[in-house]
Amino acid sequence: MTEIIQKKLNDSPAMRWTALVLIASMMFFGYMFVDVMSPIQALMESQRGWTPDVFGTYAASEYIVNVCGFLIIAGVILDKTGIRFTGELSASMMLIGAVIKFIGITEWFQTTAMADWLNSWWVSMPASAKMACFGFMIFGCGCEMAGTTVSKAIAKWFKGKEMALAMGLEMAIARVGVFAIFSISPIIADKMGSVVAPVAFCTVLLLIGLITYTVFTFMDKKLDSQTGVTAEESDPEEEFKFSDLGKILTSEAFWIVALLCVLYYSAIFPFQRYGANMLQCNLDGISAEEASNIFRWFPIGAAVITPFLGNFLDRKGKGATMLMCGALLLICCHLVFAFVLPETKSAVIAYSTIVLLGISFALVPAALWPSVPKIVDEKILGSAYCLIFWVQNIGLCFVPKLIGNILTSTNEDNPAVIAAKEAGADFIPYDYTVPLIVFAGFGVLALIIAIYLKAVDKKRGYGLELPNIK
Ligand SMILES: C[C@H](N)C(=O)N[C@@H](CCCCN)C(=O)O
């Protein structure tokens, strides 16, 4: 008897890589929007009165609704409704949040009765900042939900194929987005003479992201029709149930990965906020711009290396070992920044440590996210990703504030800082030793958990050290 083997859409490399480009575009534009204001903080202060404190509140607003439980609901939505609906919902929420933020910072909005009312309470936060925070909260819900949806979509399309490479490429593309917006946001603001222009530009890009994801949903529908997955045919046994959430939360492997994730990322993303300033404080006589130029090798280095490590993971495995190496590198880098750089003030050490930190930032994400499908069932993968993001978002929301407080309190008696403040200097030479030790401490805990994960993997046989390509 002749068996007819039907080729599925994702069996074609051209089709599955096209799908990746379409979904990664949405994240590329999303990551651009996240950081659109970061390089124009000084302009926001002069044009809209956003002090560093207002900026801190604005940055935290991205995560606050997620931390309050939205990501748990997002996981249920993702597993109940699937990647097509959730992706569209996420992209729409990102767009709606962006539009609110755009309106909030326009010249026109500042003249409205609503702005007068918003200015009448919590007066240290201007009306523009309150509206921007509200928009950023909605955007943040959409962006984090999109991040988990994209991971589930890649796991579906690349299962048994180049899954880690695809996840690595998606993250690399997103990091290029951060690099791109850091470069072009000040140029657009300068050319158009307003902080509104870069935000408007990124809002339009989010609309394009919604369109690219919509195109992907047609491809995904076709794939489901080929694999025979339709709403009517789905097996009740295979359907997501609320009790599955309990299964995830009582799984030891889930908590190991979630804790590793929050500890590692707490020493990365919050550090990213202070990194350029830390370099300026530790290297004598360099400007903020020169410090940023050194620091930008960090995300770009990670973007270049992540796909190669993803490819290595697909073919050779060694995921748990990669997590350990990444955490170890992180500790070494933060300790070099804390103790070696202030003594030597060497640009060579600064550059090489930034590159090494970039390698760490490639090793851990490249190994961490493709490991999740190995430890949880596919039907609860969306919830597992969302719950990991939820734990991680708690760290991302509060660690920047913690580091800010530590930086302020450990520099209260610093004569150089006191003198610079009294002179009204633009640049304050902070001593970053204690915050950097705290970052290294997160790395030590992440390393201990990574070692434990490797031991658990050996015992339970999750296959974290095995290649993905079968
Ligand atoms: C900030 C966000 N929650 C996050 O963890 N981002 C990861 C990538 C997660 C996988 C995306 N599909 C990152 O390393 O940027």
Pairwise CA distance, residues 429 & 431, whole Å: 7
Domain annotation covers residue 2? no
Question: Residue 213 is part of which domain span?
Answer: 11-234
Pairwise CA distance, residues 212 & 206, whole Å: 10
Residue 203 makes CB contacts below 8 A (sequence gap 6+) with: 33, 95, 98, 99, 101, 102
Domain annotation covers residue 361? yes
Domain stops at, among 234, 261, 276: 234
Pairwise CA distance, residues 362 & 235, whole Å: 38
Quick one: 270 and 336 in the same domain?
yes
Residue 286, sorted as left (phi over 0), alpha (psi -120 to 50) or beta, turns out to be beta
Minimum-distance ligand 1 atom for the alpha carbon of 393: 3
Question: Residue 28: how many CB atoms within 10 A of its CB?
Answer: 24
Q: Does residue 144's CB lie within 6 angstroms of at least one atom of ligand 1?
A: yes
Q: How large is the ipTM? A: 0.97
Quick one: 23 and 127 in the same domain?
yes
Q: Does residue 389's CB lie within 6 angstroms of at least one atom of ligand 1?
A: yes
Tell me the pTM: 0.90
Indicate the top mutation candidate among 63, 265, 268, 330 to test ligand 1's pocket, ranked by most ligand atoms within 8 A of CB: 265
Quick one: 199 and 282 in the same domain?
no
- Per-residue pLDDT tens digits of the chain, which is 470 residues long: 444 567 899 999 999 999 999 999 999 999 999 989 888 887 888 889 888 788 888 988 999 999 999 999 999 999 999 999 999 999 999 999 999 999 999 999 999 999 999 999 999 999 999 999 999 999 999 999 999 999 999 999 999 899 999 999 999 999 999 889 888 998 999 899 899 999 999 999 999 999 999 999 999 999 999 887 665 445 555 667 778 888 899 999 999 999 999 999 999 999 988 888 899 999 988 888 888 888 888 888 899 999 999 999 999 999 999 999 999 999 999 999 999 999 999 999 999 999 999 999 999 999 999 999 999 988 889 999 999 999 999 999 899 889 988 998 999 999 999 998 899 887 889 999 999 999 999 999 999 999 999 999 999 999 999 998 87
Cα torsion 77, 83, 89, 91 to 10°: value is 140
User: How many structural domains compose the chain?
Assistant: 2
Q: How far is the CA of 198 from the centre of ligand 1 (A)?
A: 23
Instruction: For ligand 1, atom 3, name the residue with the nearest CA.
Output: 389
Domain annotation covers residue 3? no
Domain annotation covers residue 48? yes
Quick one: 221 and 318 in the same domain?
no
Indicate the top mutation candidate among 31, 176, 369, 396 to test ligand 1's pocket, ranked by most ligand atoms within 8 A of CB: 369
Quick one: 249 and 395 in the same domain?
yes
Quick one: 145 and 264 in the same domain?
no
The residue behind tokens 């404190």 is 53
Domain annotation covers residue 264? yes
Written as six digits, the tokens of 401 are 């504030």
Domain annotation covers residue 1? no
Pairwise CA distance, residues 210 & 22, whole Å: 10
Domain annotation covers residue 311? yes
Pairwise CA distance, residues 280 & 286, whole Å: 6
Please report, as a single letter, which amino acid is at residue 469: I
Quick one: 186 and 322 in the same domain?
no
Instruction: For ligand 1, atom 15, name the residue with the nearest CA.
Output: 171
Quick one: 36 and 181 in the same domain?
yes
Quick one: 316 and 426 in the same domain?
yes
Minimum-distance ligand 1 atom for the alpha carbon of 269: 1
DSSP letters spanning 156-174: HHHTTTTHHHHHHHHHHHH
Which CATH number belongs to the domain containing residue 337 in this structure? 1.20.1250.20
